[in-house]
Amino acid sequence: MKKILTNAVGILAILFTSAGLAEEEDGIGGYLTAGYNWFEMANKSSVDDDDAVFGAIGIQTTRHWAYELKFSEFEASYLNLSSVYRLQPRSENSIFFKGGIGRYSGIPDDGINFNLGAGFEYYTNDNLSLVFGVDSIYQKEIKAFDWVPYVGLSYFFGGDNRSAQVKPKAQKPALLDSDNDSVIDSLDQCPDSVAGAVVNAHGCELDGDNDGVVDRLDSCLETPAGAKVDDKGCRIILTENVSIDLHVQFATNSDVVTDEYRSDIKRVADFMSEYPDTNVVIEGHTDSMGKASYNKALSKKRATAVMQYLVSTFGVDPARVSADGKGEESPVADNASKEGRAANRRVQAEIKTSVSKPQ
């Protein structure tokens, strides 16, 4: 027994030295426990149940792991060396588990045995705690367990353990916002916003009427959608009438507009969107082949078809569009040639402004 005790103390001395070196970094250290335990013996023919005081000395080597040497003196004596694992770091209330080897002295079955245990540690402050637990000691000679419930008081002398163990979390690097508009650079679509400007979720200055001039600089905050504006956000007013030739062709005796002419007709819709004070007259023209009355009616149908395409496809206000059939009245080329007749079969958009051109 003396040899076992000497070896155990030697092991703990080495662990104390290691703990002392690590304490400066991790707040680990040693602890002492004293208390009372009760031995419920499996082989009562060898020794009766008994109770006794115990003492333990331990080394906390990490935040969760410790080594502990425990000694009890009753009708016999018992010494064990265990590893202890706490679910929570030391200085926090925690369930713990232990396992190790031990030996009885003074009873017939005094060979080396194994012990397992569990318990709960309750802290009254960073260093002082109440310990409640139970050990199970397996005697391999008789293949039975002794049970040892206990209660004790433990004192940890490793310093300010709680603050040492709970290390501050590494701070995340601040997200960069170069123009200080509260939208980080990785999400900022306008990274050079003027200081103090009101911005949207994309970091761009507000433009309530979507005219391309931000509200901060816009003198006309309710410009109609699509209207052409100056650098102050105000509409540019058309001051003279404009004629746009539409290269829309029709099959013989047909007034059906096909989608191949969509982009050509869209030029008229876009122009009217830029200048919302204008109206347009779609004029249909024919060559001189056939009866004049028939040509006039056909040119009106074709002009009406283009007018309806403007309204239905591009959403132009019907009140701003009208159609007129000119027939063969206004040729732009000689009807005597094939090429001339082709040039005369045309549709024109005559855009009228309500503002007179300055003199």
Q: Report how far residue 312's alpha carbon sits from residue 218's, in angstroms, rounded to the nearest whole number.
A: 32
Q: Phi/psi at 25 (nearest 5 deg)?
A: -95, -45
C-alpha radius of gyration, the chain, whole number: 49
Quickly count: other Cβ atoms within 10 Å of residue 152's Cβ: 22
Residue 182's pLDDT is what? 81
**pLDDT (mean) for 42-70:** 86
pLDDT tens per residue across span 281-324: 999 888 888 899 998 999 999 999 999 999 999 999 999 999 99
**pLDDT (mean) for 185-192:** 84
248 with 126, same domain: the answer is no
Specify the CATH number for the domain of residue 20: 2.40.160.20
Residue 12's pLDDT is what? 46
Model confidence at 170: pLDDT above 70: no
Residue 308's pLDDT is what? 94
Tokens standing for residue 165: 């163990």
Quickly count: other Cβ atoms within 10 Å of residue 26's Cβ: 18
Domain assignment present for 112? yes
Helix (H) or strand (E) holding 151: strand 144-156
Specify the CATH number for the domain of residue 277: 3.30.1330.60
Where would I find the H helices in 119-236?
Answer: 161-165
151 with 258, same domain: the answer is no
159 with 280, same domain: the answer is no
Domain assignment present for 227? no
Handedness of CA 228, 232, 233, 238 (dihedral sign): negative
6 with 152, same domain: the answer is yes
133 with 269, same domain: the answer is no
Model confidence at 18: pLDDT above 50: no
Model confidence at 106: pLDDT above 70: yes
Q: Report how far residue 248's alpha carbon sits from residue 347's, in angstroms, rounded to the nearest whole number.
A: 7
Domain total in the chain = 2
**pLDDT (mean) for 179-202:** 84
Domain assignment present for 191? no
Domain-terminating residue out of 134, 165, 196 = 165
Handedness of CA 73, 14, 140, 40 (dihedral sign): positive
158 with 25, same domain: the answer is yes
Contact 158, 19 (CB under 8 A): yes
pLDDT tens per residue across span 265-275: 999 999 888 88
Domain assignment present for 348? yes
Tokens standing for residue 159: 């310093």
Model confidence at 96: pLDDT above 90: yes
**pLDDT (mean) for 172-193:** 81
Q: Report how far residue 21's alpha carbon sits from residue 11's, in angstroms, rounded to the nearest whole number.
A: 16
**pLDDT (mean) for 176-194:** 84
Domain-terminating residue out of 165, 192, 216 = 165
Model confidence at 165: pLDDT above 50: no
Contact 113, 138 (CB under 8 A): yes
Q: Phi/psi at 331 (nearest 5 deg)?
A: -70, 150
117 with 19, same domain: the answer is yes
Model confidence at 67: pLDDT above 50: yes
| Of residues 115, 113, 103, the one with CA closest to residue 76 | 103
Q: For 74-83, b where at least 16 C-beta lie within 10 A, e where not — what string?
A: bebbbbbbbe
Mean pLDDT, rounded, of the chain: 82
51 with 143, same domain: the answer is yes
Task: Please count the residues of the chain.
Answer: 359
Domain assignment present for 90? yes
Domain-terminating residue out of 165, 185, 220 = 165
Confidence band, pLDDT 50/70/90 cuts, at residue 181: confident
Q: For residue 131, what are the domain limits?
A: 2-165
Q: Report how far residue 187's alpha carbon sits from residue 67's, in angstroms, rounded to the nearest whole number.
A: 53
Residue 24's pLDDT is what? 40
